[in-house]
Each structure stands twice: as structure tokens, then as C-alpha cells.
Structure 1
């Protein structure tokens, strides 16, 4: 029965077949040394049980199957107990399973392999010596959901094995600093992926690579040297668009002023300290933790202002490498010569972006791929894509590629170009298929765009008769058209044509599948760009600047040619809440204003679309956070004054329980807005 793994001469990479008697020699020491920190944490006492007998390094049975033992830290050593009986005290303790299939559970979590128990920093720190394949069964389901497509799981298994083998010579731990390792609590689906790729690693020029991977690259892969300052660019990594990554989005919105202390007595913080807190509950705690680790240990801190948070110096892949932040805060107990709390400041300018990300939190700033950032007098807004460093395998990209029909070799080929898959240890199967990981698509499968006739021509060849389909997908993986649909074709070369007059410039993918008479199916994917010569509007340099006093946002942009432009504002549900322009704009820098006086707080989308005389279109969007401070009238009736002065002229009246917008504070007065009325009211009559 012929396999369609080699069906497309143009699509597929040729197998190398090894005879069954050429078994690859087993690697004698395919084991890892893993320090357990993640699950166990810092413990001075642990309970251990075993499914089989374990013996000490001297051959004495230490714990039998089904027994429970407790290890406690006593005077810097390990004290071992069975029930209440003390077995002894040890500086360190090594135990080995009598039979290889035994499991040792530590505080309820089972592990394969042997253990060296030590005391480090006053805590019990077990070191697990485990075979790499058993180690992977505790890694892959913790790095990628086991319910994902089997080909994505295989790609993750090979990448994780490669990473582990690369680091095999040193002791690692079970945290995200290396790979998250969960012991023997695996999953049958990930176990299958590991077993089906047993012993396989990725190599470049005969050497095992550093197989970096992250959750999502945001649509653009990255070089190691752009993320980490040390080291040269590696030959098996590249910067390129990833049409299959779902471009995970993240946002940071932050009030510049966190606490207003203008009316507080700084010499008597006990009167108000515990009653006030910062507005932000996500980033501020991370910043406080950083301050306590950098000179303010054991201090109670109030952060009043964050006037600066920005990221700059983008590399080729679009990721920021530098960042700046400025903090103003008070630490309880730090006073000046007159006994008043002394304002503290931290200002970091153009430091590594990783330092700033560490301060605000990795879960907040999910990557360095910053798409848009801006600020006004009161707010900071930053938007980005991706989750993680973006170097090497994108886990979400692998998932989407697998769902589109790519096998794990193809997935790894994209993320680690110019590499090969090789079996590093273990026995070869009767027929071992090793597929060189290299980007052969650009050599064998071709796509040519003719901008004059607005068509893309795709050529391909068949090695044998098959039923063929060819789909065109956009950069979000959505099928646009199917030029070839379930056609029965003979061996030979073929051409498919796709008319692109109604699509935008960008990256697209041709996804081909072929099925032979036995039902065996193979797939191949080729990414290509569509770049039309026909002029079309290009909107760039979009900037937004808001003013909470006037309740207006200025939206500025640059357009490359005269066009009819529409500017729409949409709320978080996608509903249009404002149309700012539907008229002709001339080439150059333009702007419109949005009055958000009647708009509630939230995150809004600005959509700018343009159409030129030839009906060529372009659209861009950006986000604007609106967060006005609201207040409620707490008095039966109050007068709105034109100035922050009781003797000032009255311009209006407010009544109890009416809602208003607080624009600013001036001493004991609020500047407020209610409908068309703007003026000042005494602060004591308004509650936030």
C-alpha cells in the first residue's frame, strides 16, 4: 500500500527509509536531573508513599510498597519517620526503586525514577533522577492542553524533548524557568504523542538545537538575539510572519494618578492611611512587590502616581527592547525633617523591556510585541499581541496548523527552519521515517502573483493519481476560496489560478490535500504574499489624545492619497456609538475630534476606513480607554459655581442623588460636568 506521505513531488519532502536491522543504539544515560520546586514549594515536612519497594544507595530497603513515611527538617538535616518511629537523621538521602515501574508520591503527587532528598535554605528539596521519556510525560500536558490536535502534541513533544536533551548536562528545575514538570500525572493523549515520536530531537548542523517555544508569537516569529541581549542570532530561527498564530491580544490601561493626597495631612498618616487605596488592583500590587524587593523591604507603600509607562526601540520583528517607568509613592515611616511623609520616586529610563515587564507583571504584559501605545493627561493605554517571547514554536500556531492539516514535521519545519529531525536514542522501528525539516515549499511548490491581471498562479505536481483539493486561506486561517475541490487527477504537473482583485495585500496560504485510492491522505501548506501595484489608501501614524476637562479626544492620522474617509467609534459590544467623519480628506496629516461627554466608561474602538476614486479600500483601528470619574450629589441641593469660590456666580443647580462627572479637583472643590453644565461644587457635597 503506497503512502501519500510522498504523494506531492512539489508539496512533500522525501522520506529516508532505514532497514529494520539498522537499529539506532540506545543512549545509555537518557536521564534528567530535576529539582522539585514548583508543585512542592518550600516545605519543612513532606509525606512520601510508594507503589513499589525503594532502597537506599547501599541496597537496604528504605520504604516498602504501600508504606507512608514522613521527612522533617531537624537541625539542618532530614529526620525520617514511619508513624511515630524515627528511622534516622540524614544530611541527604538517596532512594532508588527496586523495579523500574515503581512510583514515589511526594505530598500526593507521583513521580517516576529515583530521588536524592536534600535540605536547601532550610527546606526539603528533592532532586528527581528520571528517564527523559518519563520526564516528558510530566512536561507535555503541562505545557500544552492534552485535548489539542495530536499533530500539535507531537510537535510539542519533539520540541520539549529537544529542549530537555540540550539541557541534559545540568540540573534543571520544574518551573517555567525551564519546562513545567508535573511528575507521573500525565495524560494518555500526550503520552501517545511522546511514544509516537520516541527519541526524536531537532538538530542543526548535527547539533541539538535550543528549542525555544512560547504560547503565541502574535503573528510574527522572533530571533533569540532580539529578545535576549546575550548571544548571536541562531541559524535555525528567523523573523517572519506566522499566518496561523491567532495573534493573542492584551491591553494595559492605567490611571496616571492612583491616589489624590492633596487634602490629606501628611504629618498624620494614621488618620487616613488604611482608608485609601490605589485605583488599580492588578499592576499596582506587582509594582509594590518590586519596590519591596528593591530597597523598601517590610514597608507599607502607597503609590500615588505613575506618570510614565512606555516601551520603545522596536527590533525588526516589531518587539520593544527598551522601556521606561516613573513612580511616585510614600512609604509609611519615611518622613522628612518636619515629620511629614516624604515623597519617594523611582524613575527608570530606556532600561531593558524585560525589567519593566517584570515590574508590571508577565501576566499583564504578555509579550514585548507592542502594537500601539499612548497616553493623555490622565491615562496610559498600551496594546500588544502574543503571549511569551515569540522565539521558536508558537503553541497556538502549532494548534491552528495541525487543525489545518499540517503534520508535526511541517509544523516544526516552519518554526525551526534549516533543521532536521533525528532519533537521538532508543530503538528504530522496522521502518523509520525521518523527514528533513527544511523549508522546501519555496523550492518545490510555487505561487506567483501577477499584479497586472490580479491573479496568483499556483503550480504543483503529483507522483501518482489522487483526489485533490486546494484551498486559499487568509492570515486568520479562514478559507477564502477553493480553486480545486475534490478533483480526480492523474500523475503529473498542474496549475491552479486564484483571482485576487477583491482581496487586500497581505500573507495568504495555499493548503493542498491529496487522497489516494486506499484512503491515505497527505497535506501541504505554502504561505505567500499578495502585493498589488494598484494604488490604494494607506492610513498610518494613528494617534489619540484625550482631554477629560473638555471631554474630547483628538484622533490624528496620515493618509497617502486623497480619499473619502469615515471615522467610526464602536463600544465594547461592537455597536457604533459615533460617526465622526464621512467626507473627502486630502493627502497628508488629518484629524477629527470625538466628544465623549455623553459616553459611559469603557474600552472603545476607533475604526478609520478610506476609499479612493478607484474604489480601493483600506481600514485601520485602534483602542481608546474612557474612564471618567463619576460622583453622586450627597446634599439635598447644591449650586454650581463658575469658579472654585463660594462668592462666585452660580451657573446651575444640582439635586440629591444626581450623577455627575468629576473632571478635576481644586483644593476643596471639584470641577464637574452635568449635561451641558460645567462648573465647580464643594467636594464635601459629592461622594465618588
Structure 2
């Protein structure tokens, strides 16, 4: 029986079996079902087999298949072979495996099953297992595969009874696990809810007139039950009737099958290869299903390539009482690819499928849904057909044959509060629900019982009576609770006594015996252990007489021995490291283990304790200690005889004791310890003592600070009030105090240039009126030499020279300049000078040069040198242009000019519209001037210039010049003249100015007088009349250009004068 939504194909038509009523006499024990595993396994020549628990092979109790192995069953030369890895265990035409216990399972190709198995060969090539399983376990696996386990519980119970009755009806058959019978998925399919429904209906079977019924079922009856299986079994059974089912009307469906499947009018029928593979039927999947049936069932079509052109007729008829069709016809028009007519075109052929079972026709048409291969869009035979001009439209309800239980209907009835017995009464009217067999309780699960227990506990069937027997005599009994748990009170039993436990249900069915042996759990007393040191090679003490004593280190047995009659024991072990934890237990003959006795191997005492001052108020202690310990305790006193007080613990071999009094003597001793179950301590170390004094100055340095002085410096000493500086002229000579300072540096002057001086420093802290001194620092030495030049710079002074300069060095007589072509290369002397700068010429443009300088002072005939300065570098490049100017050359152009740069091959002119804006290259020129045209009158333009020198194919640029700016304005009118025209008039004339909109003529009566506007004109002359004879008149002129609504003026012409 297939899952929900897939209809039933009743098995009898295919197997040729006519259902007969089964005798309903009660069977005392639960029957078994034989199921051929097909659905999930498929056809396989080799299958994997794993065991959960243990199985007997071929009924041989000495030949076990176990859970720790992976097996394979194969067909080899039409015979079965069982392998464990590559080892062949058995061969034969059949192989069988049987579980040792009822809880043991087998896993076949990753699906788990209960029960026993017979492996057979099918069709000479496939492994076909037949699973024999208890009926109740079978039904528990069927129900969740046939009905969703989360559906209503009463529906699940109805399904369980139907499935059980269906299988019971076929107990004399080998059924399979497919929809041909009922879908069975083994243990893998189990679900708690469906198992609950099976348990609630355990052994319940449907009968009619004392006989087992054939309890077929389907997914949905569509609102009308069916009484006939179909035409292949027309006999009406009294417990199947046609009746309306108001709870199963919601499962409706539609499907459309088009008449014209292909339009062939545009196809080249003489050359089908040109379109055959690309042209498909309108209902491609329906067509493929029909073609597949034709090739498999109609003579002459096997292996043919077919295209269905049209389906002129689809006809269903001969309905049953419920309205379900039983017969059908189908007509087809089609092409076969290699069949042509006399015109060389594909020949249109016809075929009819007549008097076909309606069920078969639904299968022939199949589905048009690629996601549901093998299904049927015509889900039942309960439908109507509407024939239109171009299609057959099916409108139906239900899913499956509609006989017996409707799964959808049952679930909706259960949701409405109808109980499973009433659900079954509706779908199988006139039947009787009865319990056919009773299953005895399973064997009780019993918890361990010890020689101290006064009860037996465990799990058994709820409500059953649990009895405990010894030697056939009942020593206690009790009922299992509703949860199956039981507690049976018994007298304390001697270790080794066998207890037999049974469970009896209310019907008097008795379970199999569960047997358990009373355990000896009384442990020996905890052993006593003597002290163990890191030098001992045995552990001694006292334990239970005759007990085995084990000594363990890190869970491994290091040694063992037997306690004597008086309990004394001695266990030899390897010597252990200090701090090692030893675990000692006593084990009696029953294997009971005593409580652990734990001792820790004592560590040896620390050695080599040394105490020294660490600072003005701290001391540092250090020592050597044993390995593998937890730490150390530090004890301190103010006298060697104590008392000593613990001041700290540490895991290190050193300890710094702080907040002490400067100059006070402190006494110390140390002991090691190892933590564990017990903390073990070593003896104390020898005593050590010291006084806190300031620490000796560190990081002491001596460096020449000038030709006649040396500066010493050091790190600040915590707690120091000051420092004393001592000097000598040899490292081992007599040192004299040369200075006292509160700061961590001191400059010693008045020294001889180039003479070695040695220094050592000590800090002091004032305690009362006394200075407490540190040890001296390490000795440092140096010689007074000139200071290294500072503020060294290198700048290109021309395309072939670089100028270096630096700050003057006190006492220096001169300086040496060294050069290299790489920072880490070899430096050569290129110049000596007494000044603080040096120009190095004859260099290669754009090549990097590196310089360092040193000063010297002449002492006698010897130059005493300073250290070298820091390294500086640059490249010779052309000098930046100087004397840069920008002047308007017309209303739309500006002329820039500058001084010629030595060695330059050309210049680049950059322009921007603001001083800090982006500058763009506007011109390149070999001459020291450039006129930039096509500019906007009266708009400010900013310029900067850089020179370049061509080296090979590369331009080497100077720095940019300073920025200059101006605005384009009209040019000053040229050739301005003033000429006497008469005794009362003067005429002024000029030449035109490019871009000028007009001109303004101004006049004054003195050259430096106040000029007033006489005339604004667009002409190139103006006559000034009404003048006084003999007076001199002065004139000047400017052009203007109108930009927007404003006049932009040129500069003034030279002043011209005349007399009328």
C-alpha cells in the first residue's frame, strides 16, 4: 500500500490471487510476516550488511555476525556469498541470519530492520532479502510510511488496524515492501506517535461473519466510497458499500490533455532530421508516457522514434455504482521517424487503444509534472471529462480506488472527535473489531543487585506482577507502575546468588525469565601508607589480609603485592620524582576496590640560597630546587635564630621581597611543596641574608660632549637621593670623586682632547645622617673629541653641483666632507673646509649623492676627529627659475618671463586659477619667456615655472619657481600723439588696440595735475576744441574692454602735451 496521495493498485490482479475469507479463530501467539525487500533496496548485485547486536548465521549458534564488523552479501556466478571485508564467510543459493535477542537488528544498505532474514538470488543476478518479522513490529513500520505520523491519533489507530488486518489476510503469502502491498520501511521508518497507535490497538483485527476481511484502503475516496475493487475483481464484498463520505470532499484535481500535440504545417516532413530533436509535443511528458507504453505493448513499435501529432479521442465509460469509470479508449495520430509515404514525406499513422481498463489508461497517460515521475495526474477513476475544441479537460476528486478506509477521510473524522472504532465501522460496515492474539510481556529489564541491596528494581510491562525467585522460591513480588518501573523488596542476598525475575500481565501471560547474579560490592578498607620519599624504591603499609595492593602513578600500575596475614605489605616501585602522587588501593578476590589512599613523594630541600640587595627597599633571593613541584614558601626573620614568618609563596626559583628598610639585615630560608590530594613539603634550605641598598646604576654611558668635556649618564635608581661620579685615567687605576649630582647625568669639563678617561658611578640614599651606598656601576670610558656636526643639509645648487652646510662645532679647526653614491656604500673624502658649508661640483645631473661630515681639532700634529654626522643626500638638478614675472600682453594673454637657468634645456609653465589650486601644464619652451593666450579678460591667473635638463631620454626637473599672477587686460594704446590743430583746438590720435571696446581721453593743465575725462570714444582720434591760445594742455589715454557690465581698462599711455 503506497503512501498518502498515491493510489492503491490491488495486488490480486497482478498475482492472480482471488481474495478468500480467512478464518478468524484467535491465534494464541503473535504471527510473523514475510516481506520481500524491494522498494528501498532496488535491484542490487551487492548489498552492505551491518549488525546491531548479534545474529546467528544459517542457524548456527557458534557462527555469529557481530556489530563490530562490516559485511557484504554478493551474487557471484548466480550464487550468494557473504563477506567480512575481503574474507568470504559463506556461500549458497540461500543464506539466513537470525537475531540472538529480540532487540538485535540488521542494517541493509543503510536502512535498519528488525527480525530475521533469508537472502535469495533473484533473476540470477540480484540479492533479494526476505524479512521475517513479528506482525506488530511490521505494522509499526508500515503506519508512518502510509499515513503522516503527526496526523490525528484516532486516524493513526484506524490505519494501524487496517494495515494489521490487511497483512493478517495475507499471512500465507510472501508480500513485498512496495505499494503493491503496503509500504514497509523497517526500523528506520518508526515514529513514536504511530508506534503509540499500534500499541493501543495491539492484536486488533477486523472480521466479517467470523472471517478476516481484506482491509484495503486508499488515500482519498473523493466523497464517495467504492464497493468493487475494479473490473479485474468484480465480486462485491459485503463489507464494502457505496456511500457518501462527507469528510472526504476536499481532494479535487484537474488535468488537461490537448488534442493537437504538434503543428506540422511549417515542418519539413521530407527532412525530419532538421527538426525532430528540437520539436516536442505540446504535452511533452504525457506524450512520452503514451509513446513508452506503445513501444512496450504494441506490436512493431519497439525501439521506434515516435512523434504524436494529435489525440483525436479520449473516452472513459462503464462507470460503477459510485460513478467511477472502469473502461477507456484512446486514439492517436503520429509519425515514425523512418516511415515515409510515396511523396517522400513522413507518413501520418493512426492507432487506437480500446477497451482498456480505466486504471491502466490513467497509468498510460501518467503525469505532465517533471517533479513527479511515475505518478498519475488522473488521481482516481472518479471524474468528468469536458471536451473542448482543442483539449480534453478532466475534473476529478479523490486519490486512489476509493475502496475501504480513506486516509484523508479518517483524519478529518478523527479531527471531528470520532473514535477509531467508529471510523472503521463507517469504512468497513458490518465488520467486527476483535483482539486476535495477546503478546506476553517482554522480559523484565533488571538493574544490578548487590550483596547490600534490599530490593530489586527495573522496568517491566506497566501493571504486570513482577516476582523474584531464588532456587524456585519466591522471595518478593510487586506490581510495575504505569510507567513500567518496579521495586521488589527482598532480603539481603549473598554475593553470587542467582535471582530469577518474571513479569505476569493481567491476562496471566508470563514473560521470559530475566536472570541476574548478586554482585559482591563490599570493598576492602582503605590501605594505610607509610611516608614515601624521592629516594624510596618501595611503598609499605597495612591493608586487608590477602588483598592485592596496587600502587599507581598517573593511572598506571607502578607495582603490586599481596598483604600478609597480619595485613603488612611492601610493594616495590621505581624511585619517583619529588611531588609525584602515588595512589594505593587494595583489591579483594571479588574485584572490589578499596577507597584510594593517596600520598605524595616528598620533594628534597632547596639548595644554594643566595640573597642580595635588589633596590633601596627590596632584596632578591634565588635558589636551586627539585623539578616537578608546585612551588616554594619563603620565610623571613630579623635574626639568624628567628623567629621566621612565612612572607610569600612562588612557583619560581627567585623571590623579590619589597617594602623593606634600607640598611637593615634580613634573614631567609625556603622550602618546596607539591600540591595534590595531600600537600607535601620539603625540609628548609640553609639560611641566607642581606641588606637592602640602592641598586647600582645601570645603562651607564660615557660620551664626548665637546673637545674638552665628557658627559656620563645612567638610568635613574629607584629611591636614590643622589649619585657620586668617580674618574680615573686607566680602568684599573685609582678613581677619584669628580662630582656629586642628584640627576642621572654629569658633564666633566676641563679635559684634554683625545685623552682616555674612565668613570664609575654609585647611588646613595640618605638614612638619617648616613649615606647608604649602592655598589659601583660598571666602568665606562671615552675620549673628549669635537662634537659631530649637527643640522647637516644637502641641497642641489645647480644641475651639476650640491651644497652641504651644517652648524659650527665648538673647538673645531675644520671639517671633512665625505661622499658616496649609496647610503651604505664606500664614502670618499671630497673636500676639507674651515667653514660650515661646502659646494661639491662636477656631478651628474639627477644622480643621488650621499654626504657625511666630521669635524676635527688639531692637537699637536694630529687631527682629532669627531664622529660622523648623520647622512644626508640629494640629486643635482637644475636650479629653480628666478626673477619670474607675469604681465598682461593683451586682453586674452599673459606673458611670463624669468632669468635663464644654467644648464637647463627647457622650461615648463604651469597655470592655475588660484594660488593653492591645481596647476596644469600650459606650455613648454626653450626660452626664458612664454605667452599664454586664449584667456578670460580680467580673470586672475597664477603661474609657476620649472626648468628641466634632458639626461638621456629623461627630463630632470628643478623645483618650481615662486608663484606669480596677473590678469589679462587690454594693451596700452600705441603711437599716442597730441598735435596742434588750430589756435583753439588740439587733436589726439592713436593706433587701435586688439579686443578694445573703446578708449577714454583724459586731460590736465599740468603734467602732474588732476586729469579729467574728456571723451569716451570708439574711434582712433579726438579733437579737443575751445581751448585758450598759448596754454599748454596735457593728455593721456587708456583703452577698455567691456566684460559683462564692467569696463576692464588697459594701462595709461605716456603723457603727451601741445599748445593751440
**Residues of 2 paired with 1:201 and 1:25: CA distance?**
10
**Residues of 1 paired with 2:68 and 2:26: CA distance?**
37
Higher relative contact order (CA 8 A, sep 6+): 1
Deviation of the 1:349 alpha carbon: 3.0
Gaps of 5+ in 2: 1-24, 367-374, 442-460, 464-1060
Deviation of the 1:333 alpha carbon: 3.3
1:117 maps to 119
Question: Residue 203 of structure 2: which of 199, 211, 236 is its match?
Answer: 199
User: Could you list the per-position Cα deviations for residues 522-579 of structure 1 after superposition, in whole angstroms to 9, with x for gaps in the alignment?
Assistant: xxxxxxxxxxxxxxxxxxxxxxxxxxxxxxxxxxxxxxxxxxxxxxxxxxxxxxxxxx
Given the superposition, is the C-alpha separation of residues 168 and 339 from structure 1 closer, same or farther in structure 2, using an over 3 Å criterion?
farther
2:411 maps to 399
Question: Residue 387 of structure 2: which of 364, 375, 381 is its match?
Answer: 375
**Residues of 1 paired with 2:41 and 2:336: CA distance?**
34
Deviation of the 1:299 alpha carbon: 2.8
Question: Residue 183 of structure 2: which of 166, 170, 180 is its match?
Answer: 180
Given the superposition, is the C-alpha separation of residues 254 and 231 from structure 1 closer, same or farther in structure 2, using an over 3 Å criterion?
closer
1:364 maps to 377
**Residues of 2 paired with 1:344 and 1:52: CA distance?**
64
Cα pair 1:54 1:62 within 8 Å, conserved: yes
SS in 1 for 2:39: coil
1:38 maps to 39
Given the superposition, is the C-alpha separation of residues 235 and 377 from structure 1 closer, same or farther in structure 2, using an over 3 Å criterion?
same
SS in 2 for 1:293: helix
**Residues of 2 paired with 1:423 and 1:347: CA distance?**
52
2:132 maps to 129
Given the superposition, is the C-alpha separation of residues 376 and 29 from structure 1 closer, same or farther in structure 2, using an over 3 Å criterion?
same
**Residues of 1 paired with 2:148 and 2:220: CA distance?**
14
2:629 maps to none
Give the number of aligned pairs: 407
Matches within 5 A, 1:272-671: 272-295=275-298, 296-335=301-340, 340-361=345-366, 363-370=376-383, 372-427=384-439
Deviation of the 1:351 alpha carbon: 2.9
User: Could you list the per-position Cα deviations for residues 207-228 of structure 1 after superposition, in whole angstroms to 9, with x for gaps in the alignment?
Assistant: 0001011011010111125x24
**Residues of 1 paired with 2:42 and 2:341: CA distance?**
41
User: Could you list the per-position Cα deviations for residues 221-273 of structure 1 after superposition, in whole angstroms to 9, with x for gaps in the alignment?
Assistant: 11125x24424211111111111113311111121111122332333221111
- The TM-score, its normalising length taken from structure 1, stands at 0.57
1:93 maps to 95
**Residues of 1 paired with 2:439 and 2:297: CA distance?**
53
**Residues of 2 paired with 1:94 and 1:228: CA distance?**
40
Deviation of the 1:377 alpha carbon: 2.2
Deviation of the 1:275 alpha carbon: 1.0
Question: Residue 209 of structure 1: which of 204, 207, 213 is its match?
Answer: 213
2:262 maps to 259
**Residues of 2 paired with 1:36 and 1:305: CA distance?**
42
SS in 1 for 2:414: helix
**Residues of 2 paired with 1:158 and 1:386: CA distance?**
22
Given the superposition, is the C-alpha separation of residues 332 and 69 from structure 1 closer, same or farther in structure 2, using an over 3 Å criterion?
farther
Question: Residue 151 of structure 1: which of 149, 154, 161 is its match?
Answer: 154
Cα pair 2:340 2:347 within 8 Å, conserved: yes
Given the superposition, is the C-alpha separation of residues 228 and 68 from structure 1 closer, same or farther in structure 2, using an over 3 Å criterion?
farther
Cα pair 1:53 1:61 within 8 Å, conserved: no
Given the superposition, is the C-alpha separation of residues 341 and 117 from structure 1 closer, same or farther in structure 2, using an over 3 Å criterion?
farther
Given the superposition, is the C-alpha separation of residues 87 and 342 from structure 1 closer, same or farther in structure 2, using an over 3 Å criterion?
farther
**Residues of 2 paired with 1:177 and 1:398: CA distance?**
22
User: Could you list the per-position Cα deviations for residues 23-80 of structure 1 after superposition, in whole angstroms to 9, with x for gaps in the alignment?
Assistant: x975446011111111111111111101011112341425212321112222112222
Larger gyration radius, structure 1 or structure 2: 2
**Residues of 1 paired with 2:339 and 2:75: CA distance?**
39
SS in 2 for 1:139: helix
Cα pair 1:52 1:66 within 8 Å, conserved: no
User: Could you list the per-position Cα deviations for residues 475-520 of structure 1 after superposition, in whole angstroms to 9, with x for gaps in the alignment?
Assistant: xxxxxxxxxxxxxxxxxxxxxxxxxxxxxxxxxxxxxxxxxxxxxx
**Residues of 2 paired with 1:74 and 1:331: CA distance?**
42
SS in 1 for 2:318: strand
Given the superposition, is the C-alpha separation of residues 395 and 58 from structure 1 closer, same or farther in structure 2, using an over 3 Å criterion?
closer
Given the superposition, is the C-alpha separation of residues 274 and 400 from structure 1 closer, same or farther in structure 2, using an over 3 Å criterion?
same
Deviation of the 1:138 alpha carbon: 1.2
User: Could you list the per-position Cα deviations for residues 137-174 of structure 1 after superposition, in whole angstroms to 9, with x for gaps in the alignment?
Assistant: 11100110000000000000000000000011111111
SS in 2 for 1:117: strand
1:536 maps to none
**Residues of 1 paired with 2:161 and 2:243: CA distance?**
22
Gaps of 5+ in 1: 1-23, 433-688
**Residues of 2 paired with 1:85 and 1:57: CA distance?**
17
**Residues of 2 paired with 1:420 and 1:391: CA distance?**
18
More helix as a share of residues = 1
Cα pair 2:59 2:97 within 8 Å, conserved: no
Given the superposition, is the C-alpha separation of residues 108 and 337 from structure 1 closer, same or farther in structure 2, using an over 3 Å criterion?
farther
SS in 2 for 1:410: helix
**Residues of 2 paired with 1:84 and 1:263: CA distance?**
63
**Residues of 2 paired with 1:421 and 1:74: CA distance?**
49
1:80 maps to 82
Deviation of the 1:431 alpha carbon: 14
Given the superposition, is the C-alpha separation of residues 131 and 397 from structure 1 closer, same or farther in structure 2, using an over 3 Å criterion?
same
Given the superposition, is the C-alpha separation of residues 335 and 80 from structure 1 closer, same or farther in structure 2, using an over 3 Å criterion?
farther
Cα pair 1:216 1:248 within 8 Å, conserved: yes
**Residues of 1 paired with 2:346 and 2:118: CA distance?**
52
Given the superposition, is the C-alpha separation of residues 269 and 125 from structure 1 closer, same or farther in structure 2, using an over 3 Å criterion?
same
Deviation of the 1:343 alpha carbon: 3.3
Tell me how large the CA RMSD over aligned residues is.
2.3
**Residues of 2 paired with 1:427 and 1:107: CA distance?**
31
**Residues of 2 paired with 1:231 and 1:173: CA distance?**
25
Cα pair 1:246 1:396 within 8 Å, conserved: no
User: Could you list the per-position Cα deviations for residues 394-441 of structure 1 after superposition, in whole angstroms to 9, with x for gaps in the alignment?
Assistant: 100000000000000010010111111011112499999xxxxxxxxx
**Residues of 2 paired with 1:405 and 1:288: CA distance?**
48
1:679 maps to none
**Residues of 2 paired with 1:431 and 1:93: CA distance?**
39
**Residues of 2 paired with 1:419 and 1:309: CA distance?**
40
Cα pair 1:79 1:88 within 8 Å, conserved: yes
Deviation of the 1:321 alpha carbon: 1.5
Deviation of the 1:384 alpha carbon: 0.6
Cα pair 1:217 1:247 within 8 Å, conserved: no
Question: Residue 238 of structure 1: which of 237, 241, 257 is its match?
Answer: 241
Cα pair 1:25 1:426 within 8 Å, conserved: no
SS in 1 for 2:297: coil
